[in-house]
Amino acid sequence: MQVEPPLLLFSFLPPSGMSVLIFSAAMGILWLSTVPLTTSLIAQTQGLKFLSTLAGLVFFSHQVGGFLGAWLGGRLYDVSGNYEAMWIAAILFGLLATVIHLPIREQAGRLAQAEFK
Protein backbone atom coordinates (compact mmCIF):
# COMPACT_ATOMS: atom_id res chain seq x y z
CA MET A 1 0.00 0.00 0.00
CA GLN A 2 1.38 3.38 -0.99
CA VAL A 3 0.96 6.22 1.48
CA GLU A 4 1.22 9.75 0.16
CA PRO A 5 3.65 11.88 2.20
CA PRO A 6 1.15 14.75 2.70
CA LEU A 7 -1.41 12.33 4.07
CA LEU A 8 1.16 10.80 6.41
CA LEU A 9 2.30 14.25 7.56
CA PHE A 10 -1.27 15.42 8.02
CA SER A 11 -2.07 12.48 10.29
CA PHE A 12 0.66 13.57 12.73
CA LEU A 13 -0.17 17.29 12.80
CA PRO A 14 -2.50 18.61 15.48
CA PRO A 15 -5.84 19.69 13.99
CA SER A 16 -5.73 23.39 13.20
CA GLY A 17 -6.38 25.82 10.40
CA MET A 18 -2.67 25.87 9.58
CA SER A 19 -2.45 22.07 9.30
CA VAL A 20 -5.36 22.11 6.84
CA LEU A 21 -3.59 24.79 4.77
CA ILE A 22 -0.34 22.80 4.76
CA PHE A 23 -2.15 19.62 3.74
CA SER A 24 -4.10 21.47 1.03
CA ALA A 25 -0.93 23.01 -0.42
CA ALA A 26 0.88 19.67 -0.50
CA MET A 27 -2.04 17.84 -2.10
CA GLY A 28 -2.46 20.66 -4.60
CA ILE A 29 1.11 20.13 -5.75
CA LEU A 30 0.92 16.33 -5.85
CA TRP A 31 -2.68 15.67 -6.86
CA LEU A 32 -2.25 15.88 -10.63
CA SER A 33 1.36 14.75 -10.78
CA THR A 34 0.39 11.79 -12.99
CA VAL A 35 -1.07 13.99 -15.74
CA PRO A 36 2.24 14.62 -17.58
CA LEU A 37 3.06 10.90 -17.43
CA THR A 38 -0.38 9.92 -18.71
CA THR A 39 -0.26 12.54 -21.46
CA SER A 40 3.16 11.37 -22.64
CA LEU A 41 1.95 7.76 -22.68
CA ILE A 42 -1.03 8.81 -24.82
CA ALA A 43 1.34 10.66 -27.17
CA GLN A 44 3.62 7.62 -27.46
CA THR A 45 0.83 5.17 -28.16
CA GLN A 46 -1.58 7.33 -30.19
CA GLY A 47 0.55 10.08 -31.70
CA LEU A 48 0.23 13.84 -31.42
CA LYS A 49 -2.60 14.52 -33.89
CA PHE A 50 -5.45 13.97 -31.40
CA LEU A 51 -3.45 14.26 -28.17
CA SER A 52 -5.52 17.05 -26.62
CA THR A 53 -8.81 15.28 -27.39
CA LEU A 54 -7.60 11.95 -26.04
CA ALA A 55 -6.08 13.53 -22.92
CA GLY A 56 -9.37 15.33 -22.33
CA LEU A 57 -11.28 12.06 -22.65
CA VAL A 58 -8.93 10.38 -20.18
CA PHE A 59 -9.37 13.21 -17.67
CA PHE A 60 -13.14 13.25 -18.22
CA SER A 61 -13.41 9.49 -17.67
CA HIS A 62 -11.38 9.90 -14.48
CA GLN A 63 -13.91 12.45 -13.21
CA VAL A 64 -16.86 10.23 -14.16
CA GLY A 65 -15.22 7.31 -12.36
CA GLY A 66 -14.63 9.45 -9.28
CA PHE A 67 -18.26 10.55 -9.25
CA LEU A 68 -19.62 7.06 -9.80
CA GLY A 69 -17.33 5.59 -7.16
CA ALA A 70 -18.46 8.07 -4.53
CA TRP A 71 -22.14 7.94 -5.50
CA LEU A 72 -22.26 4.17 -5.90
CA GLY A 73 -20.43 3.66 -2.61
CA GLY A 74 -23.07 5.71 -0.81
CA ARG A 75 -25.90 4.02 -2.68
CA LEU A 76 -24.63 0.52 -1.90
CA TYR A 77 -24.17 1.50 1.74
CA ASP A 78 -27.77 2.76 1.88
CA VAL A 79 -29.04 -0.51 0.39
CA SER A 80 -26.86 -3.02 2.26
CA GLY A 81 -25.78 -1.17 5.41
CA ASN A 82 -22.06 -1.82 4.80
CA TYR A 83 -19.31 -1.13 2.28
CA GLU A 84 -18.48 -4.75 1.43
CA ALA A 85 -20.06 -4.65 -2.05
CA MET A 86 -18.21 -1.44 -2.89
CA TRP A 87 -14.89 -2.91 -1.75
CA ILE A 88 -15.48 -5.92 -3.98
CA ALA A 89 -16.41 -3.66 -6.92
CA ALA A 90 -13.32 -1.48 -6.34
CA ILE A 91 -11.05 -4.53 -6.27
CA LEU A 92 -12.63 -5.93 -9.44
CA PHE A 93 -12.27 -2.60 -11.26
CA GLY A 94 -8.65 -2.39 -10.11
CA LEU A 95 -7.97 -5.86 -11.49
CA LEU A 96 -9.73 -4.94 -14.74
CA ALA A 97 -7.58 -1.81 -15.05
CA THR A 98 -4.47 -3.91 -14.49
CA VAL A 99 -5.45 -6.35 -17.25
CA ILE A 100 -6.25 -3.49 -19.64
CA HIS A 101 -2.86 -1.86 -19.01
CA LEU A 102 -0.72 -5.02 -19.24
CA PRO A 103 -0.25 -4.81 -23.04
CA ILE A 104 1.17 -1.26 -22.84
CA ARG A 105 4.86 -1.21 -23.70
CA GLU A 106 6.48 2.14 -23.10
CA GLN A 107 9.24 3.12 -25.48
CA ALA A 108 12.41 4.50 -24.03
CA GLY A 109 12.89 8.11 -25.04
CA ARG A 110 15.98 9.21 -26.91
CA LEU A 111 17.94 12.21 -25.78
CA ALA A 112 18.71 14.76 -28.44
CA GLN A 113 22.38 15.32 -29.16
CA ALA A 114 23.62 18.86 -29.39
CA GLU A 115 25.46 19.70 -32.59
CA PHE A 116 28.29 22.20 -32.44
CA LYS A 117 29.42 23.88 -35.64
pLDDT in tens, 56-101: 999 999 899 889 989 999 999 999 999 999 999 989 999 999 999 8
pLDDT at 21 over 60: yes
Q: How confident is the model at residue 16 (pLDDT cuts 50, 70, 90)?
A: confident
Spatial separation of the C-alpha atoms in residues 114 and 107, rounded to whole Å: 22
Nearest to 44 by CA among 91, 110, 92: 110
pLDDT at 9 over 80: no
Half-sphere exposure of 45 (CA within 13 A, CB side): 13
Spatial separation of the C-alpha atoms in residues 31 and 25, rounded to whole Å: 10
Angstrom distances, CA of residue 57 to CA of 9, 38, 52, 61: 33, 12, 9, 6
- The whole-chain average pLDDT of the chain stands at 84
